[in-house]
Chain A
């Protein structure tokens, strides 16, 4: 039970704005075992990026705690910032913006080693070659500036930089959304290969369900700052318990035109409610096609469902659940 890479309990991130309190993340519990490839999905504004940032401490949380490798994240960072950085790394959505425009790729990759005082100049050079090898980049990129690289190459560089310190946990904030669809597959495969090769725990924030289905061993579906459903990817995607997950999955197009023409689609009416003012009861109740009176009154808690995961829906139970 203790072998969790990441454990978040009651995590809340609220932003004070002129228009009121935005509850970007509003009470999330998350347990990610070591060696898992965990996907966090949800539509724009559901708080998945904020959650990822709060896990690594780029965003201070309003309430709740995060434990990484069994240690309290806040204490760890306060006591040993560099040690924490060696254990947990983060990959940003925009690879170009996350690199200094004054540095070459070589300097960018060497920086973490320099910060941590790792190796001599020649050892660092060898490590750089190793890293490039790992992300399948030619050594010619070392002297180029990030701006002159293609989108896929940039993301490879930022992955290589995150791996430079040999972290155990890698958190990626939409590492694919800035990329061309054709390049996405390559980077996804890279993540899968690295995970197997290095035994990393990877948390990936995404809104592309097809990719999550492809590579993630487990998945968390978020809606309006809370977890709607979580579980092992395959059974969850095969038989989602939460109406929101069902709707999300029905929006994923199929490559087969015959299936695509006939498959049922669930169209949700309206926009997600504002995180400034979440509805009472179930947060999905305003758009849920199978809503019942109790949904508008009491907020459902996560409970065990058929696919061995958990869902926050009054209509879902261990044996059966509502199907839209």
Chain B
């Protein structure tokens, strides 16, 4: 039990490495069609065979990893930044502004992210948005569907930290709001949000595949696992590997990222990486208790 989660994190690691080094690993151009080798089984020149247009499956899997990785990283970073900025702002400023922002966040959270993304892609399909490629439409739609969770978390951390007496102490020392936020509050926010993002990465890879599966994400001929699944479905009787291989790749990566997030939460990662998610929760609780004791003592 102590060592197996590490093994299961390998797919996530391989996914990231493959995504980074994709151009070096591909044996063929993943978009090049070869009508002399349609639906061929695995061979020395096509390790995993070819699809219905004669494209090399191995190179398409590799290329798909890169497509997903880039989209995932961009969406995750953008959602994280937007979420942290909006959430922290709401938590720090308080009052009516916070109320309005919380309402927006709650509305965004009430709807499933994928539904929001689908609706936004629908909006982007209009003439006015034709200058954007489908790929970027998907990235923007996913970002707008994904930020709310980070905003909610950031706000909660900011509100909890602001009640800590050391913030008051920093005010007494003459610290500006900017100083207090960047020096004292932001590190706590990032500590939590980054850990959450590691688990969220899997969900995002799945969402990208889902949108592409529905034909709303990455447009052909760019290799993408979800889209490869659809393409392969019609030929499942000729070559089941066309569906099985992208499906397996997707499953392994998603499960692996989920377990990574869980490992963070269960402190099964090295101390240096952990950032003390659970420890922080505990000490925050202890902080609340001392604060409560202090107010009781005063009262």
Residues of A at under 8 Å CB distance from B? 44-45, 49-50, 56, 58, 81-82, 84-86, 89-90, 92-94, 96-102, 111-112, 115-116, 158, 161, 165, 177
Q: Which of chain A's residues have a CB closer than 8 A to the CB of B187?
A: 102
Of the candidates A100, A116, A161, A177, the one whose C-beta lies within 8 Å of that of B184 is A100
- Interface residues in B140-173 (C-beta closer than 8 Å to A): 164-166, 168-173
The segment from B25-33, B73-81, B84-92, B290-298 that touches chain A is B290-298
Contact A97 B164 (CB under 8 A): yes
Excluding A45-B298, A49-B298, 14 further A-B contacts by CB distance (< 8 Å) are A58-B168, A89-B172, A90-B169, A94-B290, A97-B165, A97-B166, A97-B290, A111-B175, A112-B174, A115-B173, A115-B175, A115-B176, A116-B174, A158-B169
Inter-chain contacts of A84 with B (CB < 8 A): 174
For this complex, 5 residue pairs linking A to B, each with C-beta atoms less than 8 Å apart, are A50-B298, A85-B173, A97-B290, A102-B184, A115-B174
**Cα of A174 to Cα of B157 in the assembled complex, Å:** 29
A115, B184: Cβ atoms closer than 8 Å: no
Contact of A98 among B165, B176, B184 (CB under 8 A): B165
With A44-B299, A94-B290 already in contact, the answer to whether A85 and B174 are too (CB < 8 A) is yes
A82 with B174, Cβ < 8 A, contacts A92-B165, A100-B184 known: yes
**B172 in contact with A90 (CB, 8 Å):** yes
Check if A85 sits within 8 Å of B298, measured CB to CB: no
Q: Does B6 contact A (CB under 8 A)?
A: no
Residue with the highest number of chain A CB atoms closer than 10 Å, among B179, B283, B297: B297
User: Chain B residues with Cβ under 8 A from A50's Cβ?
Assistant: 298
A82 to chain B, nearest CB (A): 4
- Cross-chain contact A45 with B299 (CB below 8 angstroms): yes
Beta-carbon contact of A165 and B169 below 8 Å: no
Q: How far is the CA of A49 from the CA of B298 in the complex (A)?
A: 7
Interface residue ranges of B263-299 to A (CB < 8 Å): 283, 287, 290-291, 294, 297-299
CA distance A112 to B166 in the complex (A): 13
- CA separation between A94 and B293, bound complex, in Å? 11
A-B pairs, top 7 by smallest CB distance, nearest first, are A85-B174, A97-B165, A98-B169, A82-B174, A112-B173, A90-B172, A98-B165
- Check B166–A99 contact: CB distance below 8 A: yes
- CB atoms of A115 and B179 under 8 A apart: yes
Would B184 and A97 count as touching, CB distance under 8 A? Answer: no
Using a CB–CB cutoff of 8 Å, the interface residues on chain B facing chain A are: 164-166, 168-176, 179, 183-184, 187-188, 283, 287, 290-291, 294, 297-299
**Distance between A297 CB and nearest chain B CB, rounded to angstroms:** 29
Residues of A within 8 A of B164 (CB): 97
Q: Is B298 a contact partner of A111 (Cβ separation < 8 A)?
A: no
Min distance, Cβ A219 to any Cβ of chain B, angstroms: 20
Q: A45-B298, A93-B294 are in contact. Are A101 and B283 (CB under 8 A)?
A: yes
Q: For residue B164, which residue of chain A has the nearest CB?
A: A97
Shortest beta-carbon distance from B187 to chain A in Å? 6
> A45-B299, A93-B294, A115-B179 given as contacts; is B174 within 8 A of A98 (CB)?
no
Nearest A residue to B188, CB-CB: A102
Q: B169: which A residues are within 8 A, CB to CB?
A: 90, 92, 98-99, 158, 161
The docked-state distance in angstroms from the alpha carbon of A210 to that of B34 is 95
User: Which residues on B sit within 8 Å (CB–CB) of A89?
Assistant: 172-173
A148, B168: Cα distance in complex, Å: 22
> Within 8 Å CB of B291, what residues of A?
97
Taking a contact as CB atoms under 8 Å apart, the answer to whether B172 and A85 are in contact is yes
C-alpha gap A98/B298 in the complex (Å)? 16
Given that A44-B299, A45-B298 are known contacts, is A94 also in contact with B174, CB under 8 Å in the complex? no
Q: Are B165 and A165 in contact (CB under 8 A)?
A: no
Return chain B residues, CB-CB under 8 Å to A45.
298-299
Chain B positions within 8 Å of A102 at CB level: 184, 187-188
Q: In the complex, are the beta carbons of A94 and B170 less than 8 A apart?
A: no
> Of all chain B residues, which has the CB nearest A56?
B172
**Beta-carbon nearest neighbor of A88 in chain B:** B172
Which residues of A lie under 8 Å from residue B298 when comparing CB positions?
Answer: 44-45, 49-50
Q: Contacts of A115 on B, CB cut-off 8 Å?
A: 170, 173-176, 179
**CA of A92 to CA of B170 in the docked complex: distance in angstroms?**
11
Which residues of chain B come closer than 8 Å to A92, judged between CB atoms?
A: 165, 168-169
Distance A185 CA – B61 CA, assembled complex (angstroms): 73
> Residue of B at shortest CB range from A49?
B298
Hey, which chain A residues are within 8 Å of B287, CB to CB? 97
Give complex CA distance A115, B174 in Å: 7
CB closest chain-B residue, reference A112: B173
Bound-state Cα–Cα, A101 to B299, Å = 26
**CA–CA, A49 to B297, complex, Å?**
10
Task: Look across to chain A and name the residue whose beta carbon is closest to the beta carbon of B283.
Answer: A101
Looking across the interface, which residue of chain A has its beta carbon closest to that of B184? A100
Q: A97-B165, A97-B287, A98-B166 are in contact. Are A165 and B299 (CB under 8 A)?
A: no
B299 — which chain A residues lie within 8 A by C-beta?
A: 44-45
B158 to chain A, nearest CB (A): 15
Chain A contacts for B168, CB-based, 8 A: 58, 92, 98
